[in-house]
């Protein structure tokens, strides 16, 4: 079947927290937007019907607000095209990509290049995040106005913390004036030193140099204080410790507009995973001890964590084949996030479906101020169809990302992705889900 312009997603369980909806609904998609949503919608003559299997759940499109697409400059790791293919296969209808490309995305030219590549790929929406400082070097502020005009939704020096308190203050003020979100990679570089893993008993035993959790916590305290000083909003990238979460909670409690995200690997793995020196357990921030993991899970459940974001960081196998201390930080995440969230948070009883959709869709849309996060008449038809009970075996070889650096090879998980719809177009269909064979074929299968 070729892709219809108008169709009805029939009898799906729709979980749409932004509109207080959780029940069986039909969604009529027309020319890329949601034309109607309701119970037992009348079907005009000749309108194709996509029956939603009873095993599936229909949600607003998932948004990953922290990925690295590596293009321009590091196309051997990932391209915009391969990255968005991985995104839609992972259930994401949109991604926000960090500026640490080569060259750094600190100019409208690079932003437009990324957007052009995203347009060509035509899969997930791509929201570039511009650099906060020129070259992310922490000196001169980047032209945030120009970046915004070109299409950037936020600024960050990700990979590096925004260098000084004064620069952070100025960036918060200036970006705040332009209504551009500031995202910081919170880590005190001097305290990090040459650390490669979490500082603790495991690091000591393995002889790997440690990074204390306090390197992150100190920096978050700095940034929250500055967000208070400037009365602007600020977002913490990849928060990883109990102390960081305490700081964010305290900031929120005193009315500061701070939000934060947590990456799946930080609520799934502890630093025990370092044993054996698999370089796919090396990422920054590093894997933390059980007490931190427990605190993050509590924060994800109680609402103090706003979003799940993957920090998808593709690296070529040759780069990860270096010794542990020399291998680059980072793992891929786009194609495992949904399964890990279902298996380790939802089925483990920590969160319900509503919360899952808030973490993966509603809140990222709200924080980034982008379309999506809700399914209502007139909204773009960005829709994820999830399969909460689908048995999934993680295999790097079948993933769409160009890179295979992830520590979950062979894991069996409960929960996955059935289909992904972006702007009304079915861009991903999972043949392993019963009942989808009758759906149109999709560019990513």
Partner 1 sequence: MSAPAPVTALRGRHLLGISDLATDEITLILDTAHAMREVGERAIKKVPALRGRTIVNLFFEPSTRTRTSFEIAEKRLSADTLSLAVSTSSVVKGETLLDTVSNIEAMAPDMLVVRHASSGACHQLARHCRARIVNAGDGLHEHPTQALLDAYTMRQHKGSLEGLQVAIVGDLLHSRVLRSNLLLLRKMGATVRVAAPRPLVPVGIEALGAVACRTIEEALDGADVVMMLRIQLERMQNNFFPSLREYFTLFGLTPARMALARPDAIVMHPGPMNRGVEIASEVADGPRAVILEQVANGVAVRMAVLYLLGGGTEE
SS3 for the chain is: CCCCCEEEEEEEEEEEHHHCEEEEEEEEEECCEEEEEECCCCCCCCCCEEECCCCCEEEECEEEEEECCCCCCCCCCCCHHHHHHHHHHCCEEEEEECCCCCCCCCCHHHHHHHHHHHHHHCCCEEEEEEECEHHHCCCCECCHHHHHHHCCCEEECCCCCCCCHHHHHHHHHHHHHCCCEEEECCCCHHHHCCCCEECCHHHHHHCCCEECCHHHHHHHHHHHHHHHHHCCCEEECCCCCHHHHHHHHHHHHCCCCEEEEECHHHHHCCHHHHCCCCHHHCCCCCCCCHHHHHHHHHHHHHCCCCEECCCECCCCHHHHCCCCCCCCCCCCCCCCHHHHHHHHHHCCCCCCHHHHHHHHHHHHHHHHCCCCCCCCCCCECCEEEEEEEEEEECCHHHCCCCCCCCCCCCCEEEEEEEEEEECCEEEEECCCCCCCCCCCCCCEC
Site for partner 1 contains 22 (CB under 8 A): no
Site for partner 1 contains 324 (CB under 8 A): yes
| Least gap, CB of 326 to partner 1 (angstroms) | 6
- Catalytic member of 157, 311, 343, 382: 311
**Cβ closest to partner 1, residue 291 vs residue 348:** 291
**Cβ closest to partner 1, residue 7 vs residue 324:** 324
**Selected range binding partner 1 among 195-203, 244-252, 328-336, 379-387, rule: CB under 8 A:** 195-203
| Least gap, CB of 321 to partner 1 (angstroms) | 4
Site for partner 1 contains 190 (CB under 8 A): no
Site for partner 1 contains 322 (CB under 8 A): yes
Site for partner 1 contains 318 (CB under 8 A): yes
- Binds partner 1 by CB under 8 A, chosen from 31, 40, 116, 205: 205
- Binds partner 1 by CB under 8 A, chosen from 157, 158, 199, 358: 199
The reply to whether 311 belongs to the active site is: yes
- Binds partner 1 by CB under 8 A, chosen from 150, 203, 379, 444: 203
Site for partner 1 contains 195 (CB under 8 A): no
**Cβ closest to partner 1, residue 202 vs residue 308:** 202
Site for partner 1 contains 325 (CB under 8 A): yes
**Cβ closest to partner 1, residue 278 vs residue 298:** 278
| Least gap, CB of 191 to partner 1 (angstroms) | 13
Report the catalytic residues: 311
Contact residues: partner 1, CB under 8 A: 199-210, 212, 276-277, 318, 321-326
């Amino acid at each position: 079947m070729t892709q219809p312009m108008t169709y009805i997603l029939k009898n799906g369980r729709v979980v749409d927290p932004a509109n207080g909806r959780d029940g069986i609904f039909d969604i009529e998609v027309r020319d890329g937007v949601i034309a109607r949503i309701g119970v037992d919608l009348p079907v005009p003559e000749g309108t194709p019907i996509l029956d939603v299997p009873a095993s599936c759940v229909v949600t607003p499109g998932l948004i990953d607000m922290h990925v690295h697409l590596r293009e321009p400059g590091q196309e051997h790791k990932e391209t915009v095209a391969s990255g968005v293919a991985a995104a839609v296969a992972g259930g994401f209808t949109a991604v926000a990509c960090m500026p640490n490309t080569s060259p750094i995305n600190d100019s409208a030219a690079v932003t437009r290049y990324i957007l052009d590549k995203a347009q060509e790929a035509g899969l997930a929406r791509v929201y570039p995040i511009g650099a906060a400082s020129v070259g992310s070097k922490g000196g001169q502020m980047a032209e945030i106005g120009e970046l915004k005009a070109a299409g950037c939704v936020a600024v960050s020096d990700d990979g590096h913390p925004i260098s000084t308190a004064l620069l952070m203050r100025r960036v918060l003020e200036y970006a705040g004036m332009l209504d551009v979100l500031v995202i910081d990679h919170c880590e005190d570089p001097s305290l990090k030193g040459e650390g490669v893993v979490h500082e603790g008993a495991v690091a000591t035993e393995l002889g790997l140099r440690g990074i204390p959790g306090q390197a992150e916590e100190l920096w978050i305290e700095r940034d929250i204080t500055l967000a208070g000083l400037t009365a602007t909003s600020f977002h913490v990238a990849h928060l990883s410790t109990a102390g960081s979460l305490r700081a964010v909670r305290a900031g929120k409690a005193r009315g500061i507009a701070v939000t934060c995200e947590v990456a799946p690997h930080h609520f799934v793995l502890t630093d025990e995973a370092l044993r054996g020196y698999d370089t796919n357990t090396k990422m920054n921030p590093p894997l933390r001890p059980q007490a931190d993991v427990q605190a993050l899970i509590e924060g994800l459940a109680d609402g103090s964590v706003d979003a799940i974001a993957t920090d998808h960081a593709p690296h070529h196998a040759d780069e990860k084949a270096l010794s542990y201390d020399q291998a680059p930080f980072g793992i891929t995440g786009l194609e495992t996030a949904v399964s890990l969230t279902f298996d380790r948070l939802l089925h483990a009883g920590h969160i319900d479906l509503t919360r899952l959709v808030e973490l993966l869709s509603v809140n990222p849309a709200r924080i980034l101020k982008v379309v999506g996060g809700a399914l209502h008449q007139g909204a773009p038809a960005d829709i994820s169809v999830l399969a909460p009970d689908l048995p999934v075996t993680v295999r790097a070889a079948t993933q769409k990302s160009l890179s295979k650096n992830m520590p979950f090879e062979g894991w069996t998980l409960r929960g996955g992705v059935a289909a992904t719809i972006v702007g009304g177009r079915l861009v991903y269909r999972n043949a392993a889900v019963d009942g989808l064979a009758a759906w149109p074929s999709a560019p990513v299968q």
